[in-house]
Amino acid sequence: MPPMDTKQELMDPLSNGQQLVDLNDGKELLAQLLEGRSAELPTRLIDTKNGVLVESYKIVDLFKNSQEYANLTQRLQSVASSEWTDLIRSSIGDYFSYATLSHRWGNSEPLHTDLQASTTYALPSSPGVEKLLGFCALTRERGFRWAWSDTCCIDRTSSSEVQESINSMFHWYRASGLTIVYLADVAVSSEGVLKRSEWFRRGWTLQELLAPRTVQFYKSDWIPYIFRPDGILAKDNDKAVPEFAQLLSEAARVDAKYLTNFTPGTENVREKLCWAAHRATTKVEDMAYCLSGIFGIFIPVLYGEKDRAFSRLQEELLKQSDDVSLFDWVGEPSKLNSCLASHPRCFHEPHWAPEDGVAAVADCPIGRVVTGLSYLIRTNLNIYRRLLIGPPPGHALVNGRLRLTPHAYFAIKSVKLNAETPSDTGNGRYCYTLSTIATNPVTIITPEKLEEYSFDGLSIIKANLVYARYTLVRLGNLPGMETLDEQDPHSLGKPFAALLLEQQRTERAMQLFRRIPTTTRITVQLKAAFFIEICETLAVE
């Protein structure tokens, strides 16, 4: 009589074959998940075991030859196939997890070429090397084998790699198991000292704050900024500590809600640009490149183009967003188009708050008001190179021109100079009062000298856009429009922000304008006394 196991095999001859099929399925699943995880890795990482710089594709080979891989394939044979996915992901996650360094660059940072000729642990001593060694030691202490630092893990001699790295940087920080923030200028755990750290003034560190899921801050002596009596585990996240998150929010000028729950996108354009208004980068172009990951958009990296890079970033935002808060800035315009800002610092103006003393029109005779927005002049303005002319939402600049659809315009009937402040550079500032038929007088401060003029009466011809040299324009979602209720005529009298345009010329039956830069936001309010006449006279549908 044959042994029992042989008898069972004869009764079920497909059992061994089925097991082999299942195991092959497991190996195929392993290969797929391994490929997906390796695609998330930075181009190269530092192996903290030996200090060697390793290409990401070689890390996959190391894993396949490791004891961890052997243990994984062995376990696949002993668990149900329904558990394979979780088991594989856990094993791969443990092996490939890496830590990233966020820091302020110094003068002696070890570069990619240095680690090609040596290992991290054999580099000659310097402040930059000591920082890298401290980072690698802390990475291993936190349970990570792999470490990434922008100083030496990017080959800056390769333009294609620089392009890939800049476009991938946000994702690399997001996919890291831990980001270690090293504050070289913070020696004590003091709120005042922390807020003065240069780390909060650099452009690239903005995304290094927002992108990672887990962040830990360290002082110049590599002691944690936040003291925890029980020690620190890799999973501990400083951004998740409410009191510290509030401190980070104040230091970075970013709402605390974004610190632990930030998703890249083109929403709230102006708010995101405000975050960078007080930051700087060594290269002018990086002021645009460091923001691309935050918006989730990508532009070609062209070092040498200077401030044109920031103009191209805004141009891409116009393509992907209808948020015209992009035009809510003050200061120096872009050389590409006067509607665009030259630098994020132009967005430093505080969030919308109408000037003191500007009140809504409460005594407007509601019964006689034309309902809805019929008092608004609906027209398409064209904007020339370095000139304002608007874009329908989601449209790009074409040959330096924008197409803008204003919600309303108010032709200027008088321009009066109030004061002039000369400067040693020859670029003085001028204070003007502007008057229109429809609005209260508007005071502006501009670095440009405007043409003074005025005319009497309510001449509709001279107050018309066709003849006016200067015009105030109200755009759809500039500040103040959020209070507008088409069913409530009172809301039409509330203050709103506007742009000041200068007509340049007419070209092919299109009027061409440029935006006049100002040093503060322009706040406008409709006149109560002329509200009815404006509704009746200037309504264009």
**In this predicted model, what pLDDT tens digit does every residue of 91-126 receive, in sequence order?**
999 999 999 999 999 989 999 999 998 999 999 999
Of 153-157, 350-354, 484-488, give the lowest mean pLDDT range.
Answer: 484-488
Q: How far apart are CA 315 and CA 319, in angstroms?
A: 7
**In this predicted model, what pLDDT tens digit does every residue of 460-493 receive, in sequence order?**
555 555 567 898 988 776 777 555 555 555 566 6
| pLDDT band (50, 70, 90) for residue 426 | low
Looking at the predicted structure, is the pLDDT value of residue 199 above 60?
Answer: yes
In one-letter notation, the amino acid at residue 163 is: Q
Cβ neighbours of 471 (radius 10 Å): 25
**In this predicted model, what pLDDT tens digit does every residue of 365-410 receive, in sequence order?**
322 322 222 233 333 444 433 333 334 444 456 677 777 777 777 8
Instruction: Give residue 317's region: left, alpha or beta (phi > 0; psi -120 to 50).
Output: alpha
Task: Name which of 32, 27, 57 is nearest 45 in CA terms.
Answer: 57
Looking at the predicted structure, is the pLDDT value of residue 535 above 60?
Answer: no
Which percentage of the chain shows pLDDT scores above 90?
56
Spatial CB neighbours of 183, under 8 Å, sequence gap ≥ 6: 194, 197, 199, 217, 218, 219, 220, 225
Q: Tokens 């640009």 map to which residue?
A: 273
HEC string for 465-502:
CCCCCEEEEECCCCCCHHHCCCCCHHHHHCCEEEEEEE
Domain locations in the chain as residue ranges = 23-262, 263-391, 408-455
